[in-house]
Chains A and B, each alone.
Chain A
């Protein structure tokens, strides 16, 4: 999905843990997994490494809620690109896919959804699922990566 509800949580609480940015495609330093269940938005997973090198998960941020966190702080429209890639843009969430599913969420509760058609791909090999075309790993000791550019 093309949004970061956890960033809103950090803004509302006024504190953001110091995550370690491992590559230029993930400056925020974490990947959250989200689920909509019974029209409610939940954070159900977190993969991150802290600045001191220790791994972090949902329990690191929400010790009493290691499995599921209700995102009641979130208000916004989440865009979920679907289908095949129409146009790749190497910036933020700007790539265009065949359709976008918009989910309007108020205080963590889904209030409306709609789909926007962006066109149909002519290429049978066009990739599906949001992805970044290239990135640079930042220096890190453990994995031995050193400024490599991966595509």
Chain B
């Protein structure tokens, strides 16, 4: 086998490997959020660009780019295979956060609607807030009230949570107890905690 034949065989294997990897990524891999930016840019292009520019970008991104990428990838295919094997054997575990729900242990105090609405009026000397319960957040309070039916109770709650940075915090707000079980809720406050257990409100302990 001459070196030219060896190179051709090596390159042919690389080309097939690249096609298989691209096909796997496109059709078999699970979608994630990495395409968000591409989608936003594509949407704006469709809205603002003339047709000739859209075609130019199509040729650059869908034909020329992948062709050049494929040529390069076919040369370094052993690295691509190793990388793909690593991803398959040691997948990154992305744990999905459980959606927040108020539990009975988070309940703090039962409130009457009138008492609560009187207490939650916001006063500002500059008059920069409406004189309604919860001020500028009144729309959210009214939305929660729409879920109230005869016999329901409104409770305040305080629940431990984690910030996006991984630090600890407390979410508090109001929840509707329907047949004794927490249901619709509204988070009015979030506080990040320092490492001091004394700061944790009763309902969140």
Contact = CB atoms under 8 A, between A and B. Distances in A.
A138 B137 contact: no
B92 interface: no
A70 B44 contact: no
Contact of A139 (B45, B135, B190, B192): B45
A75 B191 contact: yes
Chain A interface bracket (under 10, 10 to 19, 20 to 34, 35 or more)? 20 to 34
A88 interface: no
A13 interface: yes
Given A12-B137, A139-B49, A72 B41 contact: no
A70 B124 CA distance: 7
A14 B134 CA distance: 14
Interface stretch (B65-73, B100-108, B125-133): B125-133
Contacts, number: 67
A138 B41 contact: yes
Interface string A80-121: 000000000000000000000000000000000000000000
Contact of B126 (A13, A21, A37, A75): A37
A9 interface: yes
A72 B44 contact: no
A68 B143 contact: no
Interface of A: 8-9, 11-15, 21, 37-38, 40, 42, 62, 64-65, 67-70, 72-73, 75-77, 138-141
Given A40-B126, A73-B137, A139-B41, 7 more contacts: A12-B140, A13-B137, A70-B122, A70-B136, A139-B44, A139-B45, A140-B48
